[in-house]
Amino acid sequence: MKSILITATNTDIGKTYTTIKLIAELSKRGFQVGVFKPIETGVQEIAYDAQLLLDNCQIYNKNFNNINIKDVAPITYQLPAAPYVSKGKSKIEFSKIAQAFDKLSKHCDILLIESAGGLLTPIEKNYYMIDLANYFKVTSTLLITDEKLGCINNTLLSIEALESRAIPFTWCVNLKEKNSSFDQVSLPYFQEKFERVLTVQKDIENIANNLLSPE
């Protein structure tokens, strides 16, 4: 079973949107795909992102038909903030996360694990979302960045964090805005710096290829 961490340079970048596209792409290739959102904040009655992931997963993977939302999102908090803040004085129950991971792993070939917030969003005081890559022993990580002004800085900082921990990864841009200035203000640098710039909208097949065969 392969596990892939889906993370981003910040919150509201498009992790869930991208993960849903990966569910479809990997399923098309014959894989039984599972989904996992270990921690979700801003949950009032239902873990909205986790429910979207589960609904889309169940379209392709019938093994997940008996999986419930508590399995996909074992830890939830009401306050829409970093888990370290949302949890207040309580401690994260990693045993619940580990149990959910073990259960979900038995029902898929590839488990897509969606983090919350960005790479350095704190779970505990000195434990961050990026640390989930080693915790779950993922085979690869997808870093998603947006197209807004400032994305160069955010992308390079996130890449540096991944490289400093020797975490295998690929990265892509989610083009959310129709009238984005990305092509003028950010793409020229990315094209000069990197061999290729992948976008969620145009390159989901290549993104999947990279995740299945990380460098």
**The pLDDT of residue 54 is above 90:** yes
37 is catalytic: yes
pLDDT in tens, 98-110: 999 999 999 999 9
- For 2, the enclosing helix (H) or strand (E) is strand 2-8
Say what percent of the chain tops pLDDT 90. 95
Provide the pLDDT confidence category of residue 178 given band limits of 50, 70 and 90.
Answer: confident
Q: Which of 2, 21, 37, 87 is catalytic?
A: 37
pLDDT in tens, 122-163: 999 999 999 999 999 999 999 999 999 999 999 999 999 999
Structural domains of the chain ordered from first start: 2-212 (3.40.50.300)
Say how many CA atoms lie within 13 Å of 107 toward its Cβ: 23
d(CA 134, CA 168): 11
**The pLDDT of residue 176 is above 90:** no
Q: Is the pTM of this model over 0.75?
A: yes
